[in-house]
Amino acid sequence: MIGHGFYFRKALVVAGEAYHVPIKRWICDACQHTVALLPSFLLPYRHYLLAVIQAVVLTRFEESTPWVEVARRCSANEAPSPQTISRWCDAFADHAASWWAAVQQTLAQQDAGSPLLDPLSETAGPRDAPRALLQAALHLLAWAKTRWTELAHYGLKDRFRFLWHWGASHGLGRLI
């Protein structure tokens, strides 16, 4: 891989704040394809910071907050807009089942006796895919922290970011 310049990516925060982040590009000497390396606080195809999107998704699905309250809590000066918030949540709900299945498969390979994997267990957790995926992400992160020392500082607030990167590395496509 050879350095191939950079481009600026607009990263939005609530209240209309925007940052222009330089994104490094690389070109493969063998196949001549270019690759851009996004920092972990940005998501592919999304202009808002990961922290903003995470706040919306967790507020909606983990806290079961009504739409009006999600928009009130997670936006300032109507940014992100209620339509954007709805689009993020709809996309998360649409992809949650397939991501949840992949997380469960990974967890089953590590601890087949986990009550999280038994849908009839009282400790299995929520039945709806979005909430179940968020809960399973905690278990996945706990397992990953025992395997990769660079994740030692990851905590509860980092589970969504970890889930996103883990899924991308497993070819699961877009989550949101």
CA dist 164 and 50 (Å) reads 10
Asked if residues 85 and 61 have their Cβ atoms less than 8 Å apart, the reply is: no
Which stretch of DSSP H or E encloses residue 26?
strand 18-27
pLDDT tens-digit profile, the chain (176 residues) = 888 899 998 887 766 677 888 999 999 999 999 988 888 788 887 888 888 889 999 999 988 888 888 888 887 767 788 888 899 999 999 999 999 989 988 888 887 766 666 554 555 555 788 998 998 898 889 888 888 899 889 888 888 889 988 998 888 988 88
Domain ranges of the chain: 50-169
Print the SS3 string covering 42-69: CCCCCCECHHHHHHHHHHHHHCCCCHHH
pTM attached to this predicted model:
0.79
CA dist 107 and 143 (Å) reads 8
